[in-house]
Amino acid sequence: MTTPWIIIATIAGYFILLFIISWLATRKSDSKDALTGGNKAPWFIVAIAMIGAPISGVTFISVPGMVLAKGFSYLQMVLGFIVGYFVIAYVLIPLFYKRKLVSIYGYLEQRFGASTHKSGAWFFFISKMLGAAVRFYVVCVTLQLLVFDPLGIPFILNVIVTTALIFLYTLQGGVKTVIWTDTLKSFCLIMSVVLCIFFIAKGLGYDFSQMCKAVAADDTSRLFFFDNPKEGTYFWKQFIAGIFMAIAMTGLDQDMMQRTLASPNAKESQKGMIVSGITQFFVVGLFLILGTLLSIYAKSKGMLPSDMSNYKSDELFGSVVWSDGMPVIAGILFVIGLVAAAYSAAGSALTSLTTSFTVDILSADKKQNDTKLASTRKLVHVAMAVVMGIVIIVFYAISNSDAISAVYSIASYTYGPILGLFAYGMMCKAGVRDRLVPIACIAAPILSWIIQWWLKEQFDYTIGFELLLLNAALTMLGLFIFKKNNSKVTE
């Protein structure tokens, strides 16, 4: 069996499993359950699901490759994630449960008004659609090289087919399907990474002790960067940015929070959040160890060019495991991990976009009965799938950096206003002129870009992921300018 057909068979098997899980999860469910998961998910299932939830196909492909240029610096940000997860657990989760929110952006309406609510929902829509499209685009490109190009299938058809499959398995199940498929995803990811580490170490002739020594001695395993505050890899920039990235991209993201809000109560939800946050550090560590081993293997086989300036690090993982010297099982494990990460992440994004658009923008849950709500949700789900497919095609051949950096760069601009809205709401007692809030939310990313450009031009200072904080601060400044005194605050 040739490589493309092995990959197709692997993907087909995984999708059959997804459809079975989706069917089992949706029995005896109604439209409300599709939006909330029935609020019956055990905390340990949510914790397992949340381990894999932030890991997309981009993480699977890009994190191992990024060690070539940035070492283990990503773990500095992940340390910040853990702190951010504690903030989410003990600040945001009690707030969301107290207010009995289906969509977390309902808080903005309760606190400020309809325009602020819509602003938060639209920025989430833009953030999640762009972020999910970048993540899924990278996977589509990888599958195009490995499968569709050898079979003469164009990229557009690749996107249409894979988006259609994701649409089908998430159409009926909603949040319940997301939780259970993410549990499967977490298992497949960890299994595939651990076994790939085993096969690559075996290919290098290492036992466990030799592997550990080789990874520790290699230049790509450098973890802490304290030497140059101007660089994006500087520890404190990464660590602090990680805290607020976690708060914004998990705690203030309907896609991430729809899982933990499916728990019966706040205490159960907090357990799942904290356990998943700590465990994620070790999972990302496995990806980086794998990256160093991939680098050592590629160098030993002459697979890396002498001039690395134009080398796309996202190609490292796939090129090594499908090379002649590796067993076929290593390539199959790569595909299992890739499709588990990519398709579950894309399915989760579609579900959260559907929920947010239905609840926050259309307010259908307040206006329609269950039958009409089910019909509306399905129509919105179709629209979200179509838009995502179009955005992926537009992204084709644009990115020239490692994709994980592209994802966080986009997030710094689009999640900044969301972080600013929630921070102002929880920290400031004053209300705002609701109709003027969209102006503050739009102005903040524009001013952030100008400031980022000016600092680079004038002082050669690179604003890294801390751009998110600048963006949020500018949003809060705008809200302060538009504040409304003597307004009643809903506690």
CA distance 171 to 167: 6
What's CA 285's distance to the chain center, in Å? 17
- pTM of the predicted protein model: 0.73
pLDDT at residue 211 greater than cutoff 90? yes
Give the mean pLDDT of the chain. Answer: 81
CA distance 132 to 391: 9
DSSP letters, 55-113, are --HHHHHHHHHHHHHHTTTHHHHHHHHHHHHHHIIIIIHHHHHHTT-SSTTHHHHHHT-
Residues in the chain, total:
491
pLDDT at 395: 75
Could you read off the pLDDT of 259-280 as tens digits, one per residue? Answer: 777 777 888 888 888 888 888 8
| % pLDDT > 70, the chain | 84
Q: At what angle do helices 3-26 and 328-356 cross, to 10 degrees?
A: 40
* Amino acid (one-letter) located at 411: A
Domain boundaries along the sequence of the chain: 3-398
> Span 3-9, mean pLDDT?
78
CB 85 within 8 A of CB 249: no
pLDDT at 485: 66
Report the top-level CATH class of 3-398.
mainly alpha
CA distance 126 to 123: 5
As beta bridge partners, residue 484 has 431
pLDDT at residue 253 greater than cutoff 90? no
Q: Which residue has the higher pLDDT, 53 or 113?
A: 113
Task: Single out the residue of 302, 30, 278, 49 nearest to residue 172, CA to CA.
Answer: 30
313 pLDDT band, cuts 50/70/90, is: confident
> Span 67-87, mean pLDDT?
91
The token pair that represents 377 in the structure block = 């949700």
What's CA 88's distance to the chain center, in Å? 16
Q: Which of 14-18, 36-40, 383-387 has the lowest mean pLDDT?
A: 36-40
pLDDT at 491: 45
Pairing of the two strands 483-484 and 431-432: antiparallel
pLDDT at 289: 94
pLDDT at 342: 73
pLDDT at residue 442 greater than cutoff 90? yes
What sign does the CA torsion over 427, 432, 437, 439 have? negative
pLDDT at residue 173 greater than cutoff 70? no
138 pLDDT band, cuts 50/70/90, is: confident
> Span 438-459, mean pLDDT?
91
As beta bridge partners, residue 483 has 432
Q: Which of 109-123, 128-142, 350-364, 441-455 has the lowest mean pLDDT?
A: 128-142
CA distance 316 to 450: 34
DSSP letters, 237-278, are HHHHHHHHHHIIIIIT-HHHHHHHTTSSSHHHHHHHHHHHHH
Q: Which residue has the higher pLDDT, 127 or 297?
A: 297
Could you read off the pLDDT of 335-385 as tens digits, one per residue? Answer: 888 777 777 777 777 877 887 788 888 888 777 777 788 788 888 888 888
* Distances, alpha carbon 191 to alpha carbons 22, 72, 289, in Å: 22, 21, 14
CB 462 within 8 A of CB 456: yes
33 pLDDT band, cuts 50/70/90, is: very low
pLDDT at residue 180 greater than cutoff 80? no
